[in-house]
Amino acid sequence: MRSKVLQNITRIVVKLGTGILTNAARQPDPVQMEQLTRQVASLRKSGKEVVMVSSGAVGAGMGVLGFARRPTELADLQACAAVGQSRLMAAYEAFFAREGLAVAQVLLTHDDLEDRERHLNARNTLLALLRHPNIVPIINENDAVSVTELKFGDNDKLSALVATLLPADLLVILTSVDGVIENYGRPNARTLSIIENLDASLERMAGGTDSETAVGGMKTKIQAARIVVRSGIPLVIASGRKKNTLQNILQGLNEGTLFVPKPAKLAGRKRWIAFFHHPRGSLLVDDGAKKSLRENGRSLLPAGIARCEGDFQAGEVVRICDLDGTEFARGISRFPADQIRARQCGRTEVVHRDDMVIL
CATH number for domain 2-269, candidates 3.10.20.30, 3.30.1240.10, 3.30.470.20, 3.40.1160.10: 3.40.1160.10
* pLDDT band, very low/low/confident/very high, at 43 (cuts 50, 70, 90): very high
Residue 92's pLDDT is what? 95
For residue 39, give the nearest of 253, 255, 248 by alpha carbon: 248
Q: Which residues pair with 190 in a beta bridge?
A: 182
Same fold, 2-269 and 279-358: no
Indicate left, alpha or beta for 310 from its phi (over 0: left) and psi (-120 to 50: alpha). Answer: left
More confident residue, 93 or 62: 93
Residue 293 · residue 356 · CB < 8 Å: yes
Write down the number of H helices and E strands in the chain: 15, 15
CA distance 56 to 47: 27
Assign domain 279-358 to its CATH superfamily. Answer: PUA domain (2.30.130.10)
User: pLDDT tens digits, residue range 279-323?
Assistant: 999 999 999 999 999 999 999 999 999 999 999 999 999 999 999
Q: 327 by DSSP, 3-state: which?
A: strand
Residue 18 · residue 56 · CB < 8 Å: yes
Q: Is the pLDDT of residue 211 over 50?
A: no
Residue 212's pLDDT is what? 37
HSE-CB of 227 using CA atoms within 13 angstroms: 26
Residue 101's pLDDT is what? 97
Q: Is the pLDDT of residue 329 over 90?
A: yes
Q: Cβ neighbours of residue 270 under 8 Å, at least 6 residues apart?
A: 357
Domain range annotation of the chain: 2-269, 279-358
More confident residue, 52 or 17: 52
